[in-house]
Structures are given as C-alpha cells and as structure tokens.
Amino acid sequence: MSAVPGTPDIAYAAPKRRHPVATFLVQQPLGAAGLGVIVVMILAAVFAPWVAPYDPLQVDYVNILAAPSAEHWLGTDNFGRDVLSRIIYGAQTALSVGFLASILGSTVGAVIGVTSAYFGGRIDMAIQRLMDILLSFPIIVLALAVVAILGKNIVLGVDVNLVIAIGLPMVPKVARVVRSAALAIREMPYIDAARTAGFSHSRIIFRHIVPNVTAPYLIMLTAFVGQAILLEASLSFLGLGVTEPTPAWGLMLSGSAIGFYQQAPWMIVFPGLAISLAVFAFNLFGDSLRDWLDPKLKL
C-alpha cells in the first residue's frame, strides 16, 4: 500500500536493534552466568521467608549437628539450627551490606576524584596526599580501625557503621581511577566551550564531566560488591562485623564452628561455599562488564 502512486512498495527491514542488556548477555556468556547467580541470590534474599525451609533462629536441641538429610539438606549446627535456612537468610546480610558499602564507597570516591581533577592545583594536591595516606593501609586494617572507632549503629536492620567501614577502603581506589578519567575529559574542547559560555562549576561538573565518567564508576562499583561481601565475611569472622543472632556467612564460620571440624564439617563447608560463590559471581560479572564497557580500564 504505497501512499504516493508510482513509488514501489518497499518494506524497510528495520535494522535489528537489540536491547543493550541482551547484547551484553550474548557477547559475555561468563558475565551472563555471573549475573544469573546474582539474580538467584537476590531473589532468595528477598523471598527468604518463603524460600527457607526453617526459621534461621529456631533452636532444635533434638537435631543438634544433624548430618545433611532429606529434612535438613545442608545439616544443622550446634544449636540444631538449619544450615540451609541460615545461608539463605545470610544472603540478605551479605547483599545488603555488599551493595550499600559498594555504592557508598564508589560514589564518595567518584565525587572526590571528579572534584580533584576539575579544580586541580592545590586542592588536587591536598586530596591526592590524603588518598595516598588511605591507600597505605591494608583494606582490613582500615576497616577494623573504623569498626573499632564507630561501634555499632543499626538502622533498619543494617549496621550503618559497618557499611562505612567496608566502603571507606574503596574510596581512594575509585577516586584515583575516576580522577584520571576526568583529567582526560577536562582537556576536551567541549569543556573549554562550556567554560567560555560562562556555565557554573557545578553545571560543568554534573552535566559535562560526570556523564563521561559513568563507565569507570559503574565498573568499579560492580567490581567492589564482591570485595565488600568478602570483607564483611572476614570482619564477621573476626567477631567485629555482624553479630549473633543475625545469620551471616562469615559469622557462621567463626567462634564455636571451629570446634566442630570433625563432627560436623557441613557447618564449615557450606557457608564458605556461599561466600565464594557470591564473590565469584560478582567478580565474573564485573570483569565482563569491564570487557564490554571499557576494556582498557585498569583496576
């Protein structure tokens, strides 16, 4: 049905445009696998009360240290609590602390990095020295110090100070990467143009620079979720992170768990597998995201 007489009836085949998410899934199968695991974990955490076969806190003295069976798939611990249910509920802790810490750390780091690059000069010098100081601490030492100083501050079931302690070590790393990205952008002609047009600093930063550093920001954010989960587990293991009775993976491995090595190895094997799988999935996803968005970026 041609509108103009005489013109041939051509059905234009619209170029097949895949959704960016679909392209990612096709081009990065390993990343897609990681994403799959992450989605399953998020669903398990959100719907924990329906997914978990038992109450994670329910003590059952009849079934203490029960081996994995049809009733308790992953066995029970020294209080008779179901290990599988505790792992499922533990995902809530791991994911909420992991995401929050990573978002906090990367965002603060990105703001510092952009500010440092944009203003340059003395401000840049001062900020960079401070970041150097933070970088000279091992991650866990920095986190331990913050935990020791701030103590606990639980808001809506999440220990805010723990999130700060885990997010802080990421700040200097993100700041450094974002700063170098922003430095390159600062020299672009369109920034000069924006300055000449008399735009304010905040407008140039937020409208012209920030959108151009989102790729490194997103890459670092995802890369750090796994690290944050690992750090939370380490701190909880040392007794300085999440505390009983909250189910957390690191906590399940700490304290009395060591005493039941031989009697109940499932108490040790499964929570560690959960941590490893979660971190593995985030690392896989983060790596693929980097390959896809910005293969040259060095973390």
Partner 1 sequence: MLRYIVQRVALMVPTLFGVAVLVFLMLRAMPGDITDVMFRAEGGGVPEALIQAERQRLGLDQPIWVQFGRWFWGVLQGNLGVSMWTGQPVTYEIAIRLELSLQVAIMATILAVLIAIPLGTLSALYKNTWIDYGIRIFSIAGLAVPSFWLGMIIILFLLTLFAWHPPLTFTPLWENPRENLSQLIWPALAVGYRYSAVATRMMRSTILEVLQEDYIRTARAKGVFERLVVVRHALRNAMLPVVTVIGLEFAFLIGGLVVTEQVFNLNGIGKLFVEAVTRGDNTLVQGLVLLVAATFILVNFAIDLLYGLLDPRIRYR
Determine how β-strand 158-159 pairs with β-strand 154-155: antiparallel
What are the backbone dihedrals phi and psi of residue 154, each rounded to the nearest 5 degrees, phi first?
-90, 120
Q: Report in angstroms how near the CB of residue 197 gets to partner 1 at its nearest.
A: 40
Q: Which is nearer to partner 1, 92 or 236 (CB)?
A: 236
The Cα–Cα gap between 123 and 243 comes to: 40
* CB 42, min distance to partner 1, A: 18
CB of 179 to partner 1, least distance (A): 18
Closest distance between partner 1 and the C-beta of residue 138, in Å?
3
Coil/strand/helix, residue 158: strand
Select 25 or 297, whichever has its Cβ closest to partner 1: 297
Give the residue with the Cβ less far from partner 1, 162 or 279.
Answer: 279
Residue 237 token pair: 């293991």
Closest to partner 1 by CB, 36 or 57: 36
Task: Supply the minimum distance, in Å, between the C-beta of residue 275 and partner 1.
Answer: 5
Q: How far is the CB of 277 from partner 1 (least distance, A)?
A: 8
Provide the minimum distance between the beta carbon of 109 and partner 1 in the complex, in angstroms, as a whole number: 18
The three-class DSSP label of residue 154 is strand
Choose among 45, 36, 289, 71: nearest CA to 157.
45
| Cα gap 61→76, rounded to integer Å | 10
In the block, residue with structure tokens 């750390």: 105
DSSP, collapsed to helix, strand or coil, labels residue 169 as: coil
The token duo for 84 is: 């599988």
Q: Which residues bind partner 1 (CB under 8 A)?
A: 129-130, 132-133, 135-141, 144-146, 148-149, 151, 226, 230, 233-234, 237-240, 250, 253, 258, 261-262, 265, 268-269, 271-272, 275-280, 283-284, 287
Whose Cβ is closer to partner 1: residue 130's or residue 158's? 130
Question: Which residue lies nearer to partner 1 by CB, 191 or 273?
Answer: 273
Supply the minimum distance, in Å, between the C-beta of residue 76 and partner 1.
Answer: 18
Closer residue to partner 1 (CB): 21 or 148: 148
Pair of tokens at residue 125? 């010098």
Handedness of CA 283, 286, 290, 292 (dihedral sign): positive
Give kind and range of the element (H or E) at residue 276.
Answer: helix 266-293
- Catalogue the E-assigned strands of the chain: 154-155, 158-159
Q: What does the alpha-carbon distance between residue 147 and residue 166 come to, in Å, rounded to a whole number?
A: 9
Q: Which is nearer to partner 1, 18 or 152 (CB)?
A: 152
Q: Provide the token pair at 226.
A: 């796994």
